Amino acid sequence: MSADHKPASPRRPVLRPVVDSVTTIASDGSRRDLHPADVHGRFTTARRWSGWALIAFYLVLPWIPVNGHPAVFLDIAERRFHFFGYTLAAQDTWLLFFGVSGLGFALFFLTALFGRLWCGWACPQTVYLEHVYRVIERWIDGDATERRALSAAPLTAAKAVKRVAKHGLYVLASLLITHLFLSYFVSLPEVWHMMRSAPGEHWAAFVFVFGAAGVLYFNFAWFREQLCIVICPYGRLQSALTDDHSLSIGYDARRGEPRGKLGTPDAGACVDCNRCVQVCPTGIDIRHGLQLECIGCAACIDACDEVMAKVKRPAGLIRYDSFAGLGGGLTRWVRPRTILYGVLLGVGISVAAFAFTTVKPANFLVFRTGGASYFVGPDDVRNQFMVRLVNKRTVPATFIVSSEGLPDGLHQSGFETPVTLAPMAESVSPLVLVARRRDYHGPFKFTVRVRDDAQTFTLAREVEFMGPDARLLEDDEHGKQEKKHKEEHDPKG
């Protein structure tokens, strides 16, 4: 089969991945470094631009103010979360459920349709590795052949300079990423302020930024594809989410096999040039079919198309296609799985949209004051509540608190005038309800309502006015009158 294959030169050993083991782990457990070859083509170009756009998006967001706050600002200190001018408070954390589950359903749906599109095109691991760190490496160390030679070469002054330059740039890039990351939580001016003061004044932030930069440096300088192959859970979930009609990157064995060098009689389209293996960032041979290691980066598609163009054969020997498509059949886009995931996503989006639009710019709580649940005075029955108001907005707000559904004759004190709260402030004030005995007919429920003075929203809570059974009070009343009557007629007692 490969009898005519020339022995590999020591400078360029031919990588022949097998499906039985992971290419990047040698049989003694040591790491085998990959030096993926340069590749050019439409997918590579598109990925580079989309990757840089994503990085720019990440770098720029904290710099753009919307409504006086950075576009995305997860303000830990104030517990306020700003998203493009939309502010959420700590009390709205329950919405996170929809954020996380929405992301999950969207990923389910996209995975069932398009396979590992996320991994190859949008995952930060791939985006930063391919479009920042490998770019630095390519610039300092040269192409795959030069990199392989350099790593095999003994340490000379020239090599040391290159290593220091490369790893120095890695560290710089990692620090830049983590400083920007911190700014999402404390804002840029605060990051800048911390950067100019001693680490001792903000140990937690300092350790976080440098620790995280260390993790990023280790990950992107050395760990790389091991994260995708060994650690990432999404890669493992794939097989449960995809089927024969999900898009993946595949090799058209019907067209390609039997592979053979140009001129081999009865050979298929594959010329066995091994380019698809050389460019693979996870070190697999896509011709073995879909494998766990494949992150769907499409480098092998571009590599193969380039070769096919050179040998004047149609492109697409390796392409985005489903198993069904590669087997000569038709890809079915509408199938029970995609319908189910689509419906789940649709339901999730609808509920999330409803939840997000019902978020109120204030929060309030009514609770009973400590002590007894109710107080029975000589003439009345009394309930005492505390009302906690939270202004979630970043501007002062005036709130009107009222009770509704109170029976006649009930006296309310507290909240006679509107309450004005500073931005993001909260207050706790009493609300006292007094029912005269003759108006009291047992416990009842009523509603406490909060409106803002501009009437843009209302919040309501049902509260119970508690008290004894009304008949007990009547008996008590009779008893008192009898006693009084007795005293009047028998002054000596």
Partner 1 sequence: MSSTPQPPEDPGIKLRDHVYDGIQEYDQRLPNWWLYTLYGAIVFWVVYWFAYMIAGIMPTDGSRVDTAMAGINAAKMASSIDVTNDDKFWEMSANAVFTDAGKQTFTSLCTPCHLPSMRGKSENPAAVGPDLTDTAWIHGGTPKELYATVAKGVLAKGMPAWEPVLGQKKTAEVVAYILSHHQKGETITVEVPK
For the chain, what is the radius of gyration of the CA atoms?
35
Q: Which is nearer to partner 1, 273 or 432 (CB)?
A: 432
| 21 scored as a contact of partner 1 (CB under 8 A) | yes
Least distance (Å) between residue 391 CB and partner 1: 15
CA 131 remoteness from chain centre: 21
| 373 scored as a contact of partner 1 (CB under 8 A) | no
Question: In this structure, are residues 72 and 59 in contact, taking their beta carbons and an 8 Å threshold?
Answer: no
Strand duo 419-421 + 397-404: pairing:
antiparallel
Q: What does the per-residue mask of binding to partner 1 show for 223-242, with x meaning CB under 8 A?
A: x--x---x------------
The one among 14, 19, 207, 237 contacting partner 1 by CB under 8 A: 19
Q: How far apart are CA 258 and CA 267, in angstroms?
A: 5
Which token pair is 278?
């050389």
The one among 247, 308, 434, 473 contacting partner 1 by CB under 8 A: 434
Which token pair is 199?
């680490």
Q: Which is nearer to partner 1, 336 or 378 (CB)?
A: 378
The one among 413, 420, 456, 481 contacting partner 1 by CB under 8 A: 413
**Considering only 24-32, 52-60, 76-84, 349-357, which stretch makes contact with partner 1 by CB under 8 A?**
24-32
Least distance (Å) between residue 330 CB and partner 1: 31
Q: How far apart are CA 44 and CA 298, in angstroms?
A: 7
**Considering only 18-26, 75-83, 312-320, 453-461, which stretch makes contact with partner 1 by CB under 8 A?**
18-26
Q: How far apart are CA 324 and CA 435, in angstroms?
A: 77
Which token pair is 96?
């996170």
> Would you call 218 helix, strand, or coil by DSSP?
helix
| 421 scored as a contact of partner 1 (CB under 8 A) | no
| 427 scored as a contact of partner 1 (CB under 8 A) | yes
DSSP code, position 461:
E
How large is the greatest C-alpha to C-alpha distance in the chain, in angstroms? 134
The one among 154, 233, 336, 370 contacting partner 1 by CB under 8 A: 370
Binding-site size, partner 1 (CB under 8 A) = 34
DSSP annotation string for 278-332: HT-TT---GGG-S-TT-----HHHHHHHHHHHHTT--S-SEEEE-HHHHTTS---
The one among 45, 93, 197, 369 contacting partner 1 by CB under 8 A: 369
| 375 scored as a contact of partner 1 (CB under 8 A) | yes
DSSP annotation string for 225-237: HHIIIII-HHHHH
**Considering only 173-181, 421-429, 440-448, 484-492, which stretch makes contact with partner 1 by CB under 8 A?**
421-429
Q: What does the per-residue mask of binding to partner 1 show for 27-46, with x meaning CB under 8 A?
A: xxxxx---------------
| 414 scored as a contact of partner 1 (CB under 8 A) | yes
**Considering only 17-25, 71-79, 251-259, 311-319, which stretch makes contact with partner 1 by CB under 8 A?**
17-25
Question: In this structure, are residues 383 and 443 in contact, taking their beta carbons and an 8 Å threshold?
Answer: no
Query: What does the angle CA 160 – CA 161 – CA 164 come to, to the nearest 5 degrees?
Result: 85
What is the contact surface with partner 1 in residues (CB under 8 A)?
18-22, 25, 27-31, 223, 226, 230, 369-372, 375, 378, 380, 382, 384, 411, 413-414, 427-432, 434, 436
